[in-house]
Amino acid sequence: MSAMASFSLSLPLNLLCCLTVFWLLLLPSHAADPDPLQDFCVANQSASVSVNGFPCKPASAVTSDDFFFDGFIKEGNTTNIFASSVTPGNVLTFPGLNTLGLAMNRVDFAPGGLNPPHLHPRASETGVVIEGKLLVGFVTTNNVFYSKVLSTGEMFVIPRGLVHFQLNVGEGKALAYTAFNSHMPGVVVVPINLFASSIPNEVLTKTFQVDADVINTIRSKFRSPDIW
């Protein structure tokens, strides 16, 4: 009888422990950046030590300017091989975003401009077309391609870590603003990472099943330090 009573008492306790562990494991999956533990933490970008972000500037040194950013006022320079320009509003350019789990980009497109295939390893992305017409697409880990042509006022969302692009398919310029759930979403631009890096030609020739001459020709397009 006592064994039965002990079992009946331990069952709810074990269930509660399992549910608690499950909930604790689930919580971090909802956010790209950890939740802040203070009202704000304006990035001290001159600090010599940085652990997964920037340390906070002393509160006595914080000013109103730390919470405002004018970097999106000017149109970006689209005179490059992709005929597009990305102006970042992340913690590196806007220190007030530090620890808040937010960032934005301004993306300008000349006619025919492309924001080339890329991914953000630390954030999902949402965006809105402000001007023009954009073909927006992404590819899943199962190689399924989703895309749609968007006009002014229409939005899109890109799941975290998936390769995606935007192509100006309108007759004139285009403009979009994008937002991220990380103060530093990071970016991996596929063609630049592959062909402007020091990955050995042998790896690329086997990957793409082409001759070295083809790889060298592609690499020659990405040798300039001001590619994009």
- Read off the pLDDT of residues 93-102 as tens digits, 9 standing for 90 and up: 999 999 999 9
Looking at residue 197, its amino acid is S
DSSP string covering 38-103: SS---B-TT-S--SSS-PBPPGGG--GGGG---TTSSPP---STTSEEEEEESTTT-GGGTTS--E
Q: What is the pLDDT of residue 46?
A: 84
Handedness of CA 85, 189, 225, 221 (dihedral sign): negative
Chain segment 144-170, per-residue pLDDT in tens: 999 999 999 999 999 999 999 999 999
- Kindly report the number of other CB atoms within 10 A of residue 198's CB atom: 4
Chain segment 188-214, per-residue pLDDT in tens: 999 999 999 999 999 999 999 999 999
